[in-house]
Amino acid sequence: MVGIVVVSHSYKIAEGVKELTKELVPREVPLISIGGTSDGRIGTELEDIIDAVEKVYTKEGVIIIGDVGSSLMNSKVALEILDLEGYENVAISSAPLVEGAMVAAIESNLGKNLKTIKEKIESKRLIELI
């Protein structure tokens, strides 16, 4: 299954996304949801994103879904570092966080590939898919 890394600015949102996707897709999906800085503030950390991608990585790839600003910027830096380390099949999505994570979890569980999942969660019809 395609791995999913959810990157929020908020630890609470990250934890909530985890419980929500677990409710929606009871089967185990390779999803890691992270949020907040290591000292408990609002923000995202590059190291955490890299660690999360490495943990869920398989040859089927990983999709990263962030909320805003620095989560996407840090994800882009993470992508470059990971690429150098040989984790080549990683994509960043511009999908909205909660809705994107839920649909990605459903689709990954159904065995869909990275490209299909990315297209689906970035579709403007996303809300109707849930």
Secondary element (H or E) of residue 31: strand 31-35
Nearest-angstrom CA–CA distance, 63 and 46: 16
Q: Is 51 a catalytic residue?
A: no
Q: Which of 37, 55, 58, 68 binds a copy of itself (CB under 8 A)?
A: 68
Residue nearer to a copy of itself on the CB measure, 48 or 57: 48
Nearest-angstrom CA–CA distance, 103 and 106: 5
Total binding residues for a copy of itself by CB under 8 A?
A: 29
Nearest-approach distance from CB 43 to a copy of itself, in angstroms: 9
Question: Residue 104, interface with a copy of itself (CB under 8 A)?
Answer: no
Nearest-angstrom CA–CA distance, 82 and 77: 9
- Of 50-58, 81-89, 95-103, 105-113, the segment contacting a copy of itself by CB under 8 A is 95-103
Question: Residue 130, interface with a copy of itself (CB under 8 A)?
Answer: yes
62 to each of 6, 12, 41, how far by Cα in Å? 11, 23, 26
In the set 9, 112, 118, 120, the catalytic residue is 9
Question: Residue 10, interface with a copy of itself (CB under 8 A)?
Answer: yes
**Cβ neighbours of 119 (radius 10 Å):** 12
Question: Residue 34, interface with a copy of itself (CB under 8 A)?
Answer: no
**N- to C-terminal Cα separation, the chain:** 19
Question: Residue 15, interface with a copy of itself (CB under 8 A)?
Answer: yes
